[in-house]
Amino acid sequence: MTLRVRLAVAMALVAVLTAAAVAITAPAIVGRGFAAIEGTASETGAGRGPGQGLGLGPGGGVHNQQAQQETTLTIIVVAAAAAGLASLLGLLIATRMTRPLGRLEDAAAAVAQGRLDTRSGLDQRADEIGSLARSFDTMAADLQATEIARRRFFQDAAHELKTPLAVIDATTSAVIDGVYEHEDRHLETVRDQARLLERIVDDLRVVSLADAGVLPLRREPVNVGPALATAARDLQARATAAGIAIEVEPGPSRTVVADPDRLRQILAALTDNAIRHTPAGGSIRLSAGAAGEAWTRISVIDTGPGIAVEDLPHVFERFYQADAARDRTTGTSGLGLSIVRALVEAHGGTVRATNEPGGGARLELALPSA
């Protein structure tokens, strides 16, 4: 039964109980009033001649009026008592029905104070309060997840920024203290770490703008085939140096609505990630195809060891380390795949990671077709 129906039933019950009490007691009260009037009439004169009807003898009018007043007062008292008792019963019913709202209010106050793990405990109810409680619990869970992600983000960002800063400090201190000679290679180390810091800051800016929905995009129809060929060409030298072959699978011509520069950035990040996780002698395939009538699927598939099952849901999170031994010798910011997700979602698309049945990982995104 819904809360609205319960409240209506409670109010109707109060009215019915009041009316019932008055209806039950009214005959007795009225009967007693008539009996009093009859008694007054018999005392003031037994005769009922002309002009001397019931209680109209000498002094009868006063006694009749008093009897009527007493009868009326008695009915009022009974009605008031019945209404009071019925209202008390309605108050008890209303208190019982609104007690869950008090629990929900306490839970909301706890969340407002920062205890984001608080839940209402009312999600099993089938009425409006239960629906509200489920919405509240979902909101609290989202806030808790967001807060956890925020804290982890700042911790990871601080860690990622601290590493190149520590290298810069150690290198410059060693040169100043005479531990290192004033050689260009030490300056190159400082320069490389400064560039890494700049890349981290730039990547953080891109992710934050995309998350806020204010990342500027120059959307236009883009032919996916040439975009894949460009990504393969841009990273061919690096792949060749690592002993990895890059292939672009021929397929039907597909056109997406995207920012050409951002699409190139997405494909470069996915291909670069595949190179870093593919051993020498392996290969990387870039392909595109239809994903329904309105979507185009773009896949980057490698022949590496694949992704651990427990890591699959997290590979696109900021600074997530699927490999605990990951370092920064490659000059990456740790934000490559999170930038891919942010850019793809800014285009209205989706991205996911899976493992190939024969080994290797598949990073796949879907963008709106032109």
What CATH number is attached to the domain comprising 328? 3.30.565.10
Three-state DSSP class for residue 84: helix
Which of 73, 96, 115 is a domain's end point? 115
Segment 335-356, tens digit of pLDDT: 778 889 989 999 999 999 999 8
Residue 120 CA, chain-centre distance (Å), reads 16
Q: Are residues 259 and 353 in the same domain?
A: yes
The number of domains in the chain is 3
Under a CB-based contact definition with an 8 Å cutoff, are residues 3 and 127 in contact?
Answer: yes
Identify which of 74, 81, 125 has the alpha carbon closest to the alpha carbon of residue 101.
Answer: 125
Q: Are residues 18 and 63 in the same domain?
A: yes
Q: Are residues 204 and 236 in the same domain?
A: no
Average pLDDT over residues 119-131: 85
Three-state DSSP class for residue 229: helix
Domain with 163 in it: 149-212
Q: Is the model more confident about 336 or about 35?
A: 336
Which of 89, 115, 141 is a domain's end point? 115
Q: Are residues 224 and 362 in the same domain?
A: yes
Q: What is the band of 147 on the pLDDT scale with cuts at 50, 70, 90?
A: confident
Would 128 be classed as within a structural domain?
no
Which of 212, 243, 260 is a domain's end point? 212
Say which residue the tokens 């869970």 belong to.
141
The DSSP result for 2-64, as a single string, is -HHHHHHHHHHHHHHHHHHHHHHHHHHHHHHHHHHHHHHHHHH-S---TT--TT-STTHHHHH
Q: Are residues 236 and 183 in the same domain?
A: no
Q: Are residues 230 and 363 in the same domain?
A: yes
- Least confident segment among 129-138, 175-184, 254-263: 175-184
Segment 62-93, tens digit of pLDDT: 556 666 667 677 777 777 777 777 677 767 77
* Cα distance between residue 315 and residue 128, in whole Å: 39
Residue 228 has pLDDT above 90, yes or no: yes
Instruction: Say what the alpha-carbon torsion angle 128, 131, 136, 141 is, to the nearest 10 degrees.
Output: 170
Would 131 be classed as within a structural domain?
no
Query: Quick one: pLDDT at residue 124?
Result: 86
Would 70 be classed as within a structural domain?
yes
The one-letter amino acid at 141: A
**Helix axes 3-44 and 60-112, enclosed angle (nearest 10):** 160
Q: Is the pTM of this model over 0.95?
A: no
